[in-house]
Structure 1
């Protein structure tokens, strides 16, 4: 095989053969294909796209570049959820223990945040003692003893994707549905789960800004799952407004606990229950306990506490609290019609809740509290948002990000929480 032949095949609109895909992914992972050559191939994919067969084989090649988790002997069927990311997207925290409480096992490999979208591991690491880095044996033990685990992916899972994503990030080739879909699915399939539910976000605070692009990504990932024998469905869900009322790390953990206690914001509860039902159906447990009952009767909370303790955390320990805060006031009395997820995400990032580079630290106490959501009646001079940070110099830049981020009595263009459902 020759890298130039592979590049020119795709550049000229041809379909890569399985052998070409296997070779180029393996050779790039080993260093036999140079970064500039793989960057050229990725750019050709951005312009020319890939067929379903190519995407499936590309995913298989990245999956085959490393180890796959083997989860034999579990007494529960396995299922998992993946979100494409958003602002205030805390759903993994209440969702995983809720599904566990209903009888499934959830092996969830999660990541850290970058830019304006928060990372699940950053949120959980605000719990004193909680550990994200688990070995394979520890992960299996947690699944056996507790039923659920949320942890970082090991270096041995899909190493081709880790190397390729870093290259795409600096070469303007992130925005390609085939490359996005294969990146996500290679990691999720490596988990060894038997079924998967995808939460594909749509809106200003999401990677996919419009419904058509999100639907294309969802369809591509559902097809990849089907091609690899993993029962996969996808929901398109709204991210034009942040989920819930908290954006940050410790703030979102506290809100997740409120949901698990039988309270919490309506949209978070609705999405938690909807995704949990999808996961249980995918796992063949659709006739088991209803997730809404698990939130009401305390069994989801019991599962949460067991999961936190299994990873070294103390579910009763106080969460970090910020030293500084500032209220953003409602400008006029009326009905709040817009609260832009992207603006709120940038504000939280500037407060220290997110990172600009992967190696940057995050503040677990920083974030934004939303006192109203679109559709709520608001009064001039009352707090609309509260900013939290340990560094007072971050308050002005954060407030500036919100200057055009909300509107009272404007046109209502809000998306429904669940926009569409994609099945094989």
Structure 2
């Protein structure tokens, strides 16, 4: 072959290779041959909207351990400062949702509502909803977690019931929902694994409080497990992650926007967590308070929250036209005993003893009870929910580390709420304990209460309702 022919052949070969690469880039989503994480990070740093291909590349490579933590940390910080556009947020959420198993409950014969709470002290709502939703032929098939820190998890609370076991497979969950209306399983590593990996990184890089990252984390899990309607209880206040109403509204609207982009009905309730919800904080004592609520004897704030959530579910389902009409129906099934009977059925189906609904001695019992008393007379202006949660946690009602073992019998039982008058020496709370860390618990309680001389208004439990269905 002559020199000229060789050069011509070489050039044609190079052109052929280049065209092959162009074709690969075009039809293979521009993978590592054409993209670099650093360029995507730079775009986000400069507040330039990312394409779906760029987002797919970055998250996909990170999930496969081909993008290191230090680069993803940089990206998360860029999101923290610059946020995400609606299109970016939809792609980001969808990629997280599809990073693992997406569950659709074929075979469930009920209208499904997924109620999620952002976490609060004394939040035993799911226990009461198990009886109430079933009374209206509404199903709940949800994945719940265990608690870590000053708030207890739904699974921890139900495990206070001796013999109670959760479904371990999807078929068992479907069977449970069809039978008694409610099915709850622990979170699986196969559901949204990318979120778990990203959250661990956010936790150590000061990016947890980013609104788009919080919203996508919550909604990716909600969207990965199908429901006909999603109700989000966003806690607001000192005992919640969202400390003020403005940021809570921003989070709620962001989650609604995500729901819109996936054609899901979403209602968000912004609810007070400037004090514990109800009076009971623990596990067994919260089971009792939820049962008492279904018997019509629950705390006013907790009862109002539960009634509002169920009334909202009835609106989503189309059974009622207004919140007021829904609340009337809820009051009726509490009054006629239907709700408490459905809770009994649920407990029995899960392996527990339904007789505990009428005999609380069948629940774990603490050894001793300490009376925590007021040091001065006046009106209670503040009860720091987080401090109350910590007071219960150190007794064993919660976990300081993921390896801690829960003591279901212990907790704190309040006697007063914000806006109540108290005399010096009057009991503010009963500390239900098993001779473990009582002094530490008392110290947290001492930092929880503020008592003033002027009369204080009682807190509203429902601060605001936002939705994409016109409620």
Scaled by the length of structure 1, what TM-score is found?
A: 0.95
When residues 337 and 410 of structure 1 are mapped into structure 2, their CA distance, relative to the original with a 3 A threshold, is farther
1:397 aligned to which of 437, 440, 443: 440
Does structure 2 retain, via aligned residues, the 8 Å contact 1:107–1:143? yes
Q: 1:302 Cα shift?
A: 1.6
Matches within 5 A, 1:12-411: 12-132=46-166, 134-286=168-320, 290-317=329-356, 318-392=362-436, 394-410=437-453
- 1:224-263 CA deviation, whole Å, 9 max, x = no partner? 1111111001111100011111000111011111112221
Higher RCO (CA-CA < 8 Å; seq separation 6+) = 1
Could you tell me how far 1:307 is from its partner in structure 2? Answer: 1.7
Contact 1:79 1:280 in 2 (8 A): no
Q: Provide structure 2 residue ranges, at least 5 long, that are not aligned to the other structure.
A: 1-34, 357-361
Range 192-201 or range 301-310, more displaced: 301-310
Cα deviation per residue 1:98-130 (whole Å; 9 max; x = unaligned)?
012112111122111111112111111111111
Structure 1 distance, partners of 2:284, 2:230, is 27
**Once the 2 structures are TM-superposed, how far is the Cα of residue 340 of structure 1 from its aligned partner?**
1.8
Question: Residue 332 of structure 1 aligns to a residue in which SS?
Answer: coil
Q: Are 1:80 and 1:279, in contact at CA under 8 Å, matched by a contact in 2?
A: no
* Deviation by residue 1:133-184 (Cα, 9 ceiling, x = unmatched): 5211111111111111122122211111111112211222211111111111
- For 1:284 and 1:272, how far apart are their aligned partners in 2? 18
Partner in structure 1 of residue 10 of structure 2: none
8 Å CA contact 1:122, 1:362 repeated in 2: yes
Tell me how far apart the structure 2 counterparts of residues 2 and 390 of structure 1 sit (CA, whole Å).
Answer: 57
Are the structure 2 counterparts of residues 133 and 390 from structure 1 closer, same or farther at C-alpha, using a change threshold of 3 Å? farther
TM (norm. structure 2) is 0.86
**Residues 159-214 of structure 1 deviation map (CA, whole Å, 9 limit, x = unaligned):** 11111112211222211111111111111111110111111110000000000010
Kept after mapping to 2: 8 A contact 1:127/1:315 = no
Partner of 2:16: none
- Residue range with higher mean Cα deviation, 235-244 or 66-75: 66-75
Q: Residues of 2 paired with 1:284 and 1:23: CA distance?
A: 41
Give 1 or 2 for the bigger CA radius of gyration: 2
What is the SS of the residue equivalent to 1:107? strand
Q: Distance in 2 between matches of 1:387 and 1:407?
A: 18
CA distance in 2, matches of 1:178, 1:156: 23
Aligned pair count? 423
CA distance in 2, matches of 1:108, 1:77: 13
CA contact (8 A) 1:337 1:410 kept: no
Contact 1:249 1:353 in 2 (8 A): yes
Following superposition, the deviation at residue 414 of structure 1 comes to 5.5
Work out the CA distance in 2 between the residues paired with 1:286 and 1:104. Answer: 13
Q: 1:410 to 1:141 in 2, by over 3 A?
A: farther
Mapped contact 1:262–1:298 kept (Cα < 8 A): no
Q: 1:118 to 1:30 in 2, by over 3 A?
A: same
Segments of 4+ moved more than 6 angstroms: none
Offset of residue 423 of structure 1: 1.6
- Counterpart of 2:359? none
* Whole-angstrom CA distance in 1 between matches of 2:400 and 2:381: 30
